[in-house]
Amino acid sequence: MNRNHEQKMQFILSIRSKGVVDENVLNALETVNRQYFLKGLFAQRAYEDTPLPIECGQTISQPSVVGLMTQALNIKNRDKILEIGTGSGYQTAILSKLARRIYSIERFKPLYEEAREIFNKLNLNNVTSIWGDGSQGLVEQQPFDRIIVTAAAEDPPPTLLNQLKIGGIMVIPVGQSDEIQKLIRVERTETHFKYEDLCDVRFVPLLDGKEEDIYV
């Protein structure tokens, strides 16, 4: 067994041990090479289940959290998904293996440009990248079957909740940015929203607006 194959096996076992048991999600995590979304020395740590820094003061989430968030969405292959916070593009690429169409919004222009380049290289033709204000969602493409937010809000933003279909699901971290946050799952019914706590997480805060400056 070569080293790369052994690393990948350990990687999937580690993620499974954290509660990711959906086989479609695990297959997507196995298929998408996290190394493509990391630079320099960090690329050598792609198979570690840990968050790692990327440009603009952001992070690439740990794979088990990516897996848990994706699993909680309960994605069907005809779903249209809105992702708030493209970041490195790793979570987006996982989603692209499971759903029909992904619209991913990133507020930092350098991250948006880099992610779009990677998506093109990987031929992820069902991903539409947008440089914009994710806090406002994407009104022109609503309603969405699923919405995933990769930044923490104090509460699920009504603007985004209202862009969910009836029966749609949103997964979002909530809580103050300097405290432990809760990952929650919200399902929209015909009359109300159902909330479910999933686990403790830590994400960067969800911010309004879009940012053009390059941060290191």
Active site residues: 61
Burial environment of residue 4 by CB neighbours within 10 A (0 to 12, 13 to 18, 19 or more)? exposed
Virtual torsion, Cα 91, 40, 5, 12, nearest 10 deg: -30
3-state secondary structure of 215: coil
CA 211 to chain centre: 19
Rounded Cα–Cα distance for residues 12 and 27 (Å): 9
Rounded Cα–Cα distance for residues 123 and 140 (Å): 25
CB atoms closer than 10 angstroms to residue 74: 15
CA angle 59, 171, 192 (to 5 degrees): 155
